[in-house]
Chain A
Amino acid sequence: MLSIKNLQAKVEDKQILKGINLQVNAGEVHAIMGPNGSGKSSLASVLTGRENFEVTGGEVLFDGKDLLEFSPEDRAREGLFLAFQYPIEIPGVSNINFLRTALNEIRAYHNEPPLEAKEFLRLTREKQKLVEFDAKLTNRSLNEGFSGGEKKRNEIFQLAMLNPKLSILDETDSGLDIDALRIVSNGVNKLRSEKNAFIVITHYQRLLEYIVPDFVHVLYDGRIVKSGTKELALELEEKGYDWIKEPVTTASV
């Protein structure tokens, strides 16, 4: 589904991705871990096409298409979804109106007619229930005045509504208490299927107890320095990141 080869990118003059290689297939969950500043969120930004990130080398294929050629909105329409670390507030725009616009834009891209109001409401109710999202929040302005936890849950609700092929969860666990973490993880687990895939970016092993990954990668200094299975996450939890850093430092000497 997603094939990243030697991806390099910079922000202003700072090289932040220094050659990322990653293969994600349908049905898989990949966790990306790493210390602060290692490039985890930057990877998400580059994949989704945030402006001020400049790709300086490498390629990204998404279902065989050159992802980097697409505008941010077309990447989303192709089926790429980012659950934001810091979801944005948009005053006066109702959550539901926003979602209907988004859904119908994506449908139009695939030459599908807009959803009938009735059908849309049915879908909304179904997904609200699936990810345990408070119906009251559906009619409020997009993220405006939501608590940190509510914002994160809204990201998962949007994910459920838009049904993307590949979802990137960018530190979705940060700022969540244990109950919210459970609800968010349950939502994701219910949405997992043979047809979609997830990249879970996190600092902590804690989230991975709930969303069990097939693969764990450690990002450090703009490169994936170690890959393994879920046991790697446990090892990191135990030893910290220092032992990962050493081989890189040595190599660069």
Chain B
Amino acid sequence: MANNSADILEEYSDKEYEFGFVTDIEMDIAPRGLNEDTIHFISAKKKEPQWLLDWRLKAYQSFLKQPEPHWQNFELPKIDFQNISYYAAPKSKAKYKDMNEVDPELIATFEKLGIPLSEQKILAGVAVDAVFDSVSVATTFKETLKEQGIIFSSISEAVKEHPELIQKYLGSVVPHSDNIYAALNAAVFSDGSFVYIPKGVRCPMELSTYFRINSENTGQFERTLIIADEGSYVSYLEGCTAPKRDENQMHAAVVELVALENAEIKYSTVQNWYPGDKEGKGGIYNFVTKRGVCRGAHAKISWTQVETGSAITWKYPSVILQGDYSSGEFYSVAVTKNKQIADTGTKMYHIGKGTKSRIISKGISAGQGQNSYRGLVQVGSKAENARNFTQCDSLLIGDRCGAHTFPYIESKNKSATIEHEATTSKIGEDQIFYLNQRGIDTEKAVALIVNGYAKEVLNQLPMEFAVEAQKLLSITLEGSVG
């Protein structure tokens, strides 16, 4: 009982990373290093058409020309792009006709991760595309979705089967030259998910992708492209884990969303990449470019993210509000503990008139974690009556962590309404004692307080995911306070 809260706070970050296992499976791995040959290798492995190879090579040229960014407020470790393998695939993979053909070891891995791959999970109503290192392993429920004209497949499959859609939309939201990591992704991306929802169709189930980095010294560069045609709706979930490694691993994904007139896309992420150990050794560098465009009037895109993993998280899921009266939302919970760094936020570009955006960001810092919200709200000259509401809250656990807020606002239209609210608070000893006095131990008390704090964001997640995210938040912060 002589626990003083400093000790308690120390303990808080002690919980081991529970997904840190490695699957022993034979892999087909590209030699380390990056040059035009690497790109030819990947493209050939995937039997890609010439136009895609050309596009990759253009992206590579653009990658070579771009410097690494230097505006961030953390120290970016030197990344040796030549020491990464850009392709790794489970070897036995030919073409899976049904789940029975998939390597049992692989299925066991996904089961450990709690991904509903097997048929019995039909009841769960989640269609899953699982990406293991670089390739997409299995896409469930494809047939069910096909009946409604919905396409849900790996992106390499879509390149073969729906080249017209890929050619039209790939790189249309995040160009191959957008930023150095996006350029790298365009040059070497090995797989990812593709979704197309036809006009007027409401996708009957949550679509989901699970990403897993398994092999050593590999990077994961997946690409997701989602197109919601006029008047359609889709909710998409993304989850990620990786084994524990002493070396840092790179994850540079690109996600592009296109919502046409009256369409709605809801994109939810629960990111739990390996965060590194207590001293900050190892962990994933999560440098992701996520952007959506509301191309038509009244379109809507909503990003929800729960970020608990990665050594460095660096991403700004954004929305280009091009269609009149379109709307964008960003809901985020980012947790940093030990020596984790998160620099995340969003950009909302108001172009069409009557466009609306809403930003709710909840940062939680424990240990020596550093958490920054960085956001841009830009209102163009034609965006009459655009409206934005931003709220960024920071919760501090202990006294060695940090929270930072960098909101940027640029408005070229006088009729715009832009609101910004920010708070910073600490978990109080009073709050913990109050809950203790009702029979709730400190760990549970912190979990309750943190989940209460993040509720506004968690409420945006689909039900099963919300429960998982709540548990994840509790586990992540276990041992931080006591």
B438 near A98 with CB under 8 A, answer yes
Chain A nearest Cβ from B455, distance in angstroms: 4
Docked-complex contact B448 and A72, CB < 8 angstroms:
no
B452 close to chain A: CB less than 8 A: yes
A76 and B456 CA atoms in complex are apart in Å by 30
Is A91's CB within 8 Å of the partner chain B?
A: yes
Is A98 a contact partner of B1 (Cβ separation < 8 A)? Answer: no
Docked-complex contact B440 and A102, CB < 8 angstroms: yes
Q: Would you call B441 and A105 a contact (CB within 8 A)?
A: yes
Contact of A73 among B4, B428, B431, B436 (CB under 8 A): B436
Contact A84 B438 (CB under 8 A): no
A107 (CB) vs chain B CBs: closest residue:
B439
Q: Are A158 and B438 in contact (CB under 8 A)?
A: yes
B448 in contact with A82 (CB, 8 Å): no
Interface bits B451-482 vs A (CB < 8 Å: 1, else 0): 11111100000000000000000000000000
- On whether the beta carbons of A90 and B448 are closer than 8 Å, the reply is yes
Q: Interface extent on B, as a size class?
A: 20 to 34
Contacts of A76 in B (CB 8 A): 436-439
Of all chain B residues, the one with the shortest Cβ separation from A68 is B1
Asked whether any CB of chain B lies closer than 8 Å to the CB of A162, the reply is: yes
Indicate if B74 sits at the interface (CB-CB under 8 A): no
Whether A90 and B434, one on each chain, are in contact in the complex, defined by CB atoms closer than 8 angstroms, is: yes
- Find out whether the CB atom of B4 lies under 8 angstroms from the CB atom of A91: no
Chain B residues within 8 Å of A73, by CB: 436-437, 439-442
**Majority-rule SS of B interface residues:** helix
Q: Is the CB of B439 within 8 A of A88?
A: no
B235 to chain A, nearest CB (A): 23
- Kindly provide the distance from the CB of A145 to the nearest chain B CB, expressed in whole angstroms: 14
**CB-based A-B contact count at 8 angstroms:** 84
Pairwise interchain contact B439-A162, C-beta atoms closer than 8 A: yes
Knowing A51-B4, A72-B1, A101-B444, the reply to whether A141 touches B439 (Cβ < 8 A) is: no
Q: Which of A68, A90, A97, A103 contacts B431 (CB 8 A)?
A: A90
Point out the residue from B1, B437, B452 that lies within 8 Å of A82, measured CB to CB. Answer: B437
| Residues of A close to B455: CB separation below 8 A | 92
- Asked if A98 and B436 make an inter-chain contact with CB atoms under 8 angstroms apart, the answer reads no
Smallest Cβ-Cβ distance to A80: which chain B residue: B437
Shortest distance from the beta carbon of B430 to any chain A beta carbon, whole Å: 5
- In the complex, the answer to whether A105 meets B437 with C-beta atoms within 8 Å is no
Please indicate the chain A residues that have their CB under 8 angstroms from the CB of B456 in the complex. Answer: 92
Question: A7 interface residue, CB < 8 Å from B?
Answer: no
CA–CA, A120 and B39, complex, Å: 61
Q: Determine if A41 is an interface residue (Cβ-Cβ < 8 Å).
A: no
Residue contact B451 to A93, C-beta cutoff 8 Å: yes
Task: Point out the residues of chain B lying under 8 angstroms from A102, CB to CB.
Answer: 435, 438-440
Contact with B along A15-51 (1 / 0, CB 8 A): 0000000000000000000000000000000001111
Q: What 4 pairs across the A-B complex have the smallest Cβ distances?
A: A92-B452, A93-B452, A72-B436, A102-B438
What are 6 A-B contacts defined by CB distance under 8 Å? A51-B5, A71-B436, A72-B436, A92-B452, A102-B440, A105-B440
Further contacts, 15 of them, CB under 8 A, given A51-B3, A72-B1: A68-B1, A70-B1, A73-B439, A76-B436, A77-B439, A82-B437, A84-B434, A88-B428, A90-B434, A90-B435, A91-B453, A97-B448, A105-B441, A162-B438, A162-B439
